[in-house]
Structures are given as structure tokens and as C-alpha cells.
Structure 1
Amino acid sequence: MPDTDEGVYYVISDLHIGGDEQLEHVEFLDELLAFLERLERSEEDAELIINGDAFGLWEFTHVDGPAKFDVLLDRYPDLFEQLRATGAAIQITLLPGNHDHELAAYDEYVERFAEYNVDVVQRQSISRRVGDRVVYFEHGHQRDPNNRIENWGDPHATPLGYYFNTLVTSRAGQLSDRGRYNWLRDIQAVTPTERVPSWLLSKYFYREMNPLLRYALVPFLLLFNVSVVLAVLAGLDLVGVWSMPVDRTTAFLGQFGTAGTAVWFLLALNVAVTGLLVLVGIPLYFIRRDVRKTIQRFGVFETALTVDAEAPYESAAREVFADRPDTVVFCYGHTHRPALREVDGGLLVNTGTWLKRLHRRDGVIGVLPPVFYPSYQLTAVRIAAEPEGLVVEHEEIQKPSPGSEELTLTERLLTLGREPDPRLPDPIVLETEEAAPAVRTADADE
């Protein structure tokens, strides 16, 4: 049965506050404090629901159990004092996610957070009534096979995602400050996880590679596509099939003396290297394709890049709406992608994340590694009963993009004109009716 609370609900999730060493840095702390202070001063009958992964308890590897609370309190005193002040004005409910599942495993967390006016609910989901409708909340990790926790509340629960975060993410936090730029701590922002190898290659190339080596490679990589064509033409010339392109190119460059010779040498070097890569790459391509077909045939694994990561939540929402006819909103987080759409007459809403978001931009020429362009999209979902119906909307908390500070000049040039411009979904109103609710966007005509 849903709780009988009524009023305005603000929902945030996936803050991932805390972790080993460099992971302790919270880049959005000022914005979070300002948001909490705003709710403290609000005259609305409001409740703040933190829908999972408020804290990165998995990423603490040197402290166990409720002792992590003391570390959080020591590192973020301003945050806890603001939670105390905001919680004195409105109700704050904290629902555990997978990264902070320990909140459901130890009653001491409930007691300690209560001292700061935060109600830790040790359940997998909660409901709230808004007018004559019900809103369902869950973090969403239970729909993810890599992070599903079978024995809820078991302090020793260790799904696959636990090992990735304790062995990889926390280690990244310990090593991040050793780089040429403190970038490795951003590993938490890489989603889906399968993109981590590509992201590591990108940051190595643009940040960690010796600059002389990088700039020596850039012409070759930029000319790779051209060199593939030239390598084919050179091969045709060698076997005597078609010599005209090579002869004309040699004659053309010969007109420019030393400069032409230098260009000819650079092209020849590119062609030679590219030819070798093509010869090696052809059998490797067929081997890779055969291995992939075999893996797919046996169903050994599936990844978020080949499977729709949002489909399980649509299915879950349909089940909840069917089993509980008065429930019309399914609110979750976990995937870090803000979304709002209609499903079977109800609404499926994702609260997004307060972490940095990394947008992949593939190279437009050559085989340069992709650029992962950073941005912020801090959001709070507001759910309220208004005269026109139940209004669900994302409220954006402004924070400038860090691209100019975090990207190298090369990365900025390669993404010029292709900077991400993430847009939040339009608000949606569920109109109050006796029958099934009608769905319309908030700015639709009456």
C-alpha cells in the first residue's frame, strides 16, 4: 500500500558522493547546497526524495560498514548541516540504490541519518499519493542484471557491479592525481560501462601520450583514410594493372621541388604503414567477425551497447501500472539519463544524475580516438498536483560546461561545432479524469 503523503515531491538521484581519495571531490557541491537551501526556504508542502545512489559507499575500500558514515560526515560537514536544516523544514527521504545498498543493511545508518533529519527507508521501493494518483519510486538497479541484489539488506551482497566499483572505480580514485590532468576520477561518469576502454584510450591519447609522439602520429592518423586508397592504387601499380594514378601524382608533386619531395615521402610512408595494417587487418577482421557470431550464437554475453538499456524499465512500468491501477508514474534513476515519456497511459520518468556526463564524439576524419565531451545536466524532478492535473517536470540546476578547462586544444578543435547540447524532456501533465488519464505535454493547447 502506498504511503498517504500528499503534496509536492522533488526527486533527485545518482549523486555518488564519496569514495577513495580523488573520488571524494564533489564538483556540484555548491549547487547541491543551494538547491537544499532553496527547499528549506520554500513555502510548499514539499518532500525531497533521494532516489538511490546518493553516496558512493561501494567506492570506500578502506572503511567497512557504518564507519563510512563518519568519513562522510568528516568530509562533507556543510552538506550534513544543510541536510539537517532542510530536513527540519521539509521531509527528506533517502532510498538506497546499489552503490549505497549498505544503507539497507545496517540499522545504524537509519539512526545516524535521522540525527540530520534524513529518513532512510530500507526498502527497494516506495510510493507517494499525489491527489488521487500514486507515484512509484525505485532506484532501478534491480532491473540491471549486473547490479541486481538478490538478498536485499544482506551486508555481504556483491553483484558483478560491486566488483567493478571496488576494484576499478575506487582504484581510479586512488591513482587519478598521478596523471597529467586529474581525469581518471571521471570513470564514474562513463556510461555504459562498456565504453570505459574507449574512454581510457581517448584520454591516454589526448592527455597522457608524450606530446611529441602524439603530434608525430596525428598526420598519419588524419591521412589514414586517404592512405588506404593510395595503398590500393600503389598495389595496382606494382602488379602492373593500373599505373596512371601513381604516375600522375609523382609528376604533379615533382613540380614543387623539395616541398613536393617531402609530401611524396610522407605519403609513401603513410601508404607503406597503411598497406601493412590493411594486410594484417583483413584476416583479423574475419576472425573477429567469426568470434562475434560464435559468441552471439551461444548467448555468452550481452552488453548495454547491443541491448536497449531502457527496455527493462518500460516493461517494469507496464507491470506496475497493470497491477496498481491508481499508480500513474514510475520514477527511477540508475542509468544517468534524464527521460520522461508516456507508457500505457502513465509516465516513465528518469531523474538523471548530478555527475558529469560524457558525450562521445567520433572523429570526422582519419582514425583519431573519439573525444568524450563533458557537460553537466543537474536535474530535480518535480511532481505536483496542479489545477490542470498531475504535472511532472525536470527542473534544471545550472552549472557551466567544463569543456574549456578539461579538454585539450586538439580535442576542442576536433569537436568544434559538435559540442553537446543536452535538452531536458518537456513537462507532461496527466489530466484528472474519472477514466484512464489523458497525457499531454505541458505546453500543449487546451
Structure 2
Amino acid sequence: MATDTDDRAYYVISDLHIGGDEQLEEVEFLDELLDFLERLETIDEDAELIINGDAFGLWEFTTIEGVEKFDVLEETYPELFEQFRATGENVDITLLPGNHDHELAAYDEYVDRFAAYNVDLVQDQSITRSIGEQAIHFEHGHQQDANNRIEDWGNPHATPLGYYYNTLVTSRAGKLSDRGRYNWLKDVQAVTPTERMPVWLFSKYFYREMNPVLRYSLVPFLLLFNVSAILAVLAGLDMAGVWAMPVDRTEAFLGQFGRAGTAAWFFLALNVTVAGLLLLVGIPLYFIRRDVRKTVDRFGVFETELTVDPDEPYENAAREVFTEQPETTIFCYGHTHRPTIREIDGGVLVNTGTWLKRLHRRDGIIGILPPVFYPSYQLGAVRIAAESAGVAVEYERIAKPSPATEELTRTERFFTVGREPDPDPPDRLVVENEAETPSPKTTA
């Protein structure tokens, strides 16, 4: 096994969320994870793999308690644990608890159980590693999130607000997911921020669960809503005697087609009526909603429940670490599932992202159809290593095909054509060695 040295390379992953009730048991990226660990098994360099929290979804097990969850993981994913053992013979593997697997810090028996597979479970909130002339701070990041902060670290009965969301919502979704027309509900753990969950549920209901006859009968109305809204305004002007020309010409044009024109006129009039009613109700509601939002923002009451700011708390925490520990120039965390490598005052902020599916909201190209949540994978590991100029931080992307073809209906793909997500990995940065304040530099 590799020995401790200031010049070793660090590979960092996080937020695998492996395990949970029923459908959450499926690990869609297992093959890619095993391949990654196999590569580290044969790598010819002094390296350490750091799994920076939420490796396992222990919160999502709701029918078993304590170390019994390890038994289930061991039985469910034997290939993974055996690969841990093999990889750990070549490189050090360090595991930090996150919020979903905080129980790893609550039971000492976990340390011995993981040690049998060459995984060093550190039951602390954070660790530091020296690299060249600098140092790296590692933590999962949930301690900067008020909804998931563990106030009594190591207490097996700690239950922050996020615990209840995951045990009551996420794990329940895992139990019910296979009852749908498609096994989609288990992806609730990939919906971030959580405020989007109601919209996501409505979207999946419309495109997946709604009776096809009902859905396809609604589509023309929804597609023509924008046009109908304009026609509703013109119809109002006609009824008020202000401007009758658009309505008269439309009626005359359709009248040339006999019964077909009459049917089209009836359909258009029905659409305009519905659009007009929605406009009459929607306009005052829009102004009321805007006024309420302004009032809430003025008082600063809340951002959103269960939603954590993806940047500010971590920037503040990193600056505090950089100030208290001048040799530390890199703050590495996970939790928010947003891959990031960027400079801030005093050093570099690094987020290792997630191996879960990511869902990208895409509004339809026309009409008022529900938005589509386009799935993709952004698997990767952050590699941090010393070089002559300083310390290089690089996001290594691991290829996995998009699941969109299998998971999106033809309707969803049609109405989001040209809007497919193609997220780019963060740019490589080099934190230069300097006597006082290191300066991160972006490199090609």
C-alpha cells in the first residue's frame, strides 16, 4: 500500500449514494465505478483515493438499523467491496462520512468492517492532506447546510431536517417507483434543488403517467396557447368595438373551406375562450405573486425550504479555512452535486459533483407544455497533484452514455430538440507556489 508523502496524487469522488430501500438499491453507474477502481488498482504512482462523503445512502434504509446496514451493502454489492479490497492494496482509500451516511461516524464497528476491505473510515467531519508546499481541506459540505447540519456529530439518533425529507420522501419513492408506467420515481434523489420536485413530479406525470388519450387531446390546446392568448386579446378588442379587422379577416378566410373551416373556427374559438379565461385569472395572480415575492425578499424570511445556497456558505467556509490555515489553499467538498473548480480569495474551491444522474430542466420550444427534465451523467473524479509550478487541480471525466433515449418519451425529446444538455467539465487550475498568497491560474 502507498506510504504517506507530501507529493502524492489525490483522487477525490463523492456523492455516490449507493443503497437504499427497494428500487434505490439499483446503482446505474456500478460498471463505471468498478472500472475506475480497477484503474487505480494498477496505477503506477503514489496515490490516495478519498471518498468525500455520501458514498452510501444509509438514510434511505428505513427498515433496518445500525451496522446491519453494512451487512446489506456487503451482500448487495459484493463486487464493489471486493474491488475496494483489491484497489486498497495499491493505493490508500479514505472514506469520510456525509449526511446520508453520517451513521458511519456513529458506530465504531464500521471502522473495522471497512478496514477488512482496505478502506480507512475516518469518523471526523474533515481531514487535511499536505501536498508539496500547500495543503488541502476535505469535508463533505453538509455542515455548511442548515438543513443537513449534524449538530451532535457521531450521535446515531441525529435527525436534521434533510433526514426527514430522505426517509419520508426519497425512501418512499424507492418503494413505489416500480408501480409507474416507467421506473422513474426513484430519480427523486437526483432532483436538485429540492424546490423543483413538485414541477418534476408534474412533468413526469404529464409525459409518463397521464392517460395517453387525455395527454394527446390536451397537447393541441397547450401548443396553441401562445397564439390563442394573442387572439383572445384581439377578440376582446373586437367585442369592445376598437379593432374588428383581425377577427373579420380570420372568419372570412376560414369560411372559404366549408365544413373544415367551420370546424377549425370552432376549435380556434374554444381555444381562445380558454386562453382568455386563463389570462383574466392569470394577470391579477401574476401581480399578486410578484408583490408577495417582493415582500418576502424585503424581509429576508427565506430562500426556499430544504434548499441550500450552492455557493455562498462554502465560499465563506473556505475563506475561513484559508485565513486560519495559511498553508491550506484548496477547499474540497461535495454535497451540492455541482462539479466546480474555481478560484476565490485565498485559494481554490472544488466540488467533486455526484455520480448520480443529473436532471436539467428544459422548457418546451413552444406552447405551455410542462418542462422536460433532461437526464445526463457527469461522472468524474477530481485529481489533485503537485507539479513544478504548484498544485494542479483537474476534473477527470468518466464517460457514460446519456440515458435520454430510454428515459424520455418521444414527446419530451421532440419538444426539447436542440436543447439537450452537454455540461462541460470545470477548467483545470494550478495553484502556484508563492511565499504569501498562492494565486490560482487557469490552464488549458
Q: Indicate whether the TM-score tops 0.5.
A: yes
Partner residue in 1 for 2:146 = 145
CA deviation after TM superposition for structure 1 residue 4, in Å: 6.6
Partner residue in 2 for 1:288 = 289
Q: 1:432 to 1:282 in 2, by over 3 A?
A: closer
Q: Secondary structure at the match of 1:181?
A: coil
Partner residue in 1 for 2:205 = 204
How far does the alpha carbon of each residue in 1:180-226 deviate from its partner, in whole angstroms, 9 at most, with x for none? Answer: 11011111111111111111111111111111111111110011111
Q: 1:291 to 1:436 in 2, by over 3 A?
A: closer
- Counterpart CA distance in 2 for 1:282 and 1:307 is 31
8 Å contact from structure 1 (residues 51, 97) kept in 2: yes
CA deviation after TM superposition for structure 1 residue 153, in Å: 0.8
**Bigger Cα displacement from structure 2, 276-285 vs 379-388:** 276-285
How far does the alpha carbon of each residue in 1:359-378 deviate from its partner, in whole angstroms, 9 at most, with x for none? Answer: 11012221100011111110
- Counterpart CA distance in 2 for 1:212 and 1:71 is 43
- Counterpart CA distance in 1 for 2:165 and 2:97 is 19
8 Å contact from structure 1 (residues 132, 326) kept in 2: yes
Partner residue in 2 for 1:419 = 420
CA deviation after TM superposition for structure 1 residue 297, in Å: 4.5
Q: Are 2:56 and 1:55 equivalent residues in the alignment?
A: yes
Partner residue in 2 for 1:104 = 105
Partner residue in 1 for 2:319 = 318
8 Å contact from structure 2 (residues 147, 306) kept in 1: no
- Counterpart CA distance in 1 for 2:163 and 2:438 is 40
Partner residue in 2 for 1:39 = 40
- Counterpart CA distance in 1 for 2:284 and 2:350 is 46
- Counterpart CA distance in 2 for 1:148 and 1:296 is 24
Q: 1:68 to 1:87 in 2, by over 3 A?
A: same
Q: 1:285 to 1:165 in 2, by over 3 A?
A: same
Partner residue in 1 for 2:398 = 397
- Counterpart CA distance in 2 for 1:439 and 1:279 is 55
8 Å contact from structure 2 (residues 333, 350) kept in 1: yes
CA deviation after TM superposition for structure 1 residue 154, in Å: 0.9
Partner residue in 2 for 1:269 = 270
Q: Are 2:204 and 1:241 equivalent residues in the alignment?
A: no
**Bigger Cα displacement from structure 2, 424-433 vs 167-176:** 424-433
1:350 aligned partner, one-letter code: N
Partner residue in 1 for 2:255 = 254
- Counterpart CA distance in 1 for 2:348 and 2:284 is 49
1:343 aligned partner, one-letter code: I
8 Å contact from structure 2 (residues 361, 372) kept in 1: yes
Q: Secondary structure at the match of 1:35?
A: helix
8 Å contact from structure 2 (residues 52, 138) kept in 1: yes
CA deviation after TM superposition for structure 1 residue 394, in Å: 0.4
8 Å contact from structure 1 (residues 224, 366) kept in 2: yes
Output the TM-score relative to the length of structure 2: 0.96
CA deviation after TM superposition for structure 1 residue 415, in Å: 1.4
Q: 1:328 to 1:95 in 2, by over 3 A?
A: same
- Counterpart CA distance in 1 for 2:428 and 2:310 is 23
CA deviation after TM superposition for structure 1 residue 290, in Å: 4.0
Partner residue in 2 for 1:114 = 115
- 1:428-439 equivalences under 5 Å are 428-439=429-440
**Bigger Cα displacement from structure 2, 366-375 vs 272-281:** 272-281
**Bigger Cα displacement from structure 2, 293-302 vs 336-345:** 293-302
RMSD: 1.7
- Counterpart CA distance in 2 for 1:328 and 1:299 is 33
1:190 aligned partner, one-letter code: V
- Counterpart CA distance in 1 for 2:70 and 2:376 is 30
Q: Are 2:340 and 1:339 equivalent residues in the alignment?
A: yes
Name the % identity.
76
Q: Secondary structure at the match of 1:428?
A: strand
CA deviation after TM superposition for structure 1 residue 298, in Å: 4.4
Q: Secondary structure at the match of 2:111?
A: helix
Q: Are 2:116 and 1:92 equivalent residues in the alignment?
A: no
Structure 2: segments with no counterpart, 5+ residues: none
How far does the alpha carbon of each residue in 1:217-272 deviate from its partner, in whole angstroms, 9 at most, with x for none? Answer: 11100111111111111122223222111111100111122222222111101011
8 Å contact from structure 2 (residues 13, 51) kept in 1: yes
Q: Are 2:120 and 1:131 equivalent residues in the alignment?
A: no
- Counterpart CA distance in 1 for 2:134 and 2:230 is 63
- Counterpart CA distance in 1 for 2:349 and 2:414 is 38
Q: 1:381 to 1:224 in 2, by over 3 A?
A: same
- Counterpart CA distance in 1 for 2:295 and 2:432 is 51
8 Å contact from structure 1 (residues 93, 121) kept in 2: yes
Partner residue in 2 for 1:407 = 408
Output the TM-score relative to the length of structure 1: 0.96
- Counterpart CA distance in 1 for 2:198 and 2:276 is 26
Q: Secondary structure at the match of 1:273?
A: helix
- Counterpart CA distance in 2 for 1:240 and 1:394 is 65
- Counterpart CA distance in 2 for 1:300 and 1:281 is 26
1:422 aligned partner, one-letter code: P
8 Å contact from structure 1 (residues 192, 304) kept in 2: no
Partner residue in 2 for 1:29 = 30
Runs of 4 or more, structure 1, over 4 Å off, are: 3-6, 304-308
Q: Secondary structure at the match of 1:89?
A: coil
Q: Secondary structure at the match of 1:109?
A: helix
Structure 1: segments with no counterpart, 5+ residues: none
